[in-house]
Structure 1
């Protein structure tokens, strides 16, 4: 089962929350109500893009709009959102997969998840970090140098540049580069 998306809510240069869509929407609404003169930005933690959540209504309406509906448990296999597609492998690959515990599908999913965590999706995470960096710090001193360090993969130089910016901005950008820390 896919987990709920994570959203980071910023007002000024401060991260207010990292949470579910419902938590993000409620926090954004409260921040907007408390300080209508300070814009609130909500980032999709997966892509780094700014998302627009519907903040109309009271807290219950907002929470209901973004709280996932839970399905009652049914007999049989759980619905995983599985999409069947053809995979073409050589006989030796099928032989190897047949020997793995859990079968071919489980093994392939585990291999893909391990590859994603090990950095094979570094380009996507770098692009997401850049989206956040442009939005939150595009006009800050040292932006050009920080973006060069980001795309060069020079984390030490990037961290040095980010140190001159508000701490929450730097922490948020670095979160995208560490696949194991994306939940914090």
Structure 2
């Protein structure tokens, strides 16, 4: 017998991603996933077969959503290059601030997954998703830095690839630092300090 029509796979994926991004794969139990999605274990496994399959599907959806959000800021030609980078950082800090009000850090599925190498080894799809996300994120950041070099808001001698890696490293550090309970005001100062070496 198939699962009920009322089962909403998209909502279940979003609920699962919300758990995985905070706790990571290993520390997210099936019970947590069922409670977050508001479904029985049988419904969850009828839809996604296994926790591993659910994780891959949730990671795909999570990465796609963040790709769209990043592009809206980093490819916005109404903004200077520096404004795009600051806007990206502000978005991360604001997300962490809002999550802290709910009693936890926002977390990040990508950061958790990159810090758990065996996830890449157990399913090549995870490696492909993470590698594609890295390339696309770097491309968007490099584009913003090149735009900033042209409009004068970013140093003319700033290397786009190195600058993109710097921004990614700062964002990943913000995610990890937020997990340690650092408040959003300090996260914002760290983020802006991280950008300062690129600014014109």
Name the TM-score, length of structure 1 as normaliser.
Answer: 0.27
Greater strand fraction, Structure 1 or Structure 2: 1
Greater helix fraction, Structure 1 or Structure 2: 2
Which of the pair has more CA radius of gyration? Answer: 1
Name the TM-score, length of structure 2 as normaliser.
Answer: 0.25
Which structure has more RCO (C-alpha within 8 Å, separation ≥ 6)? 2
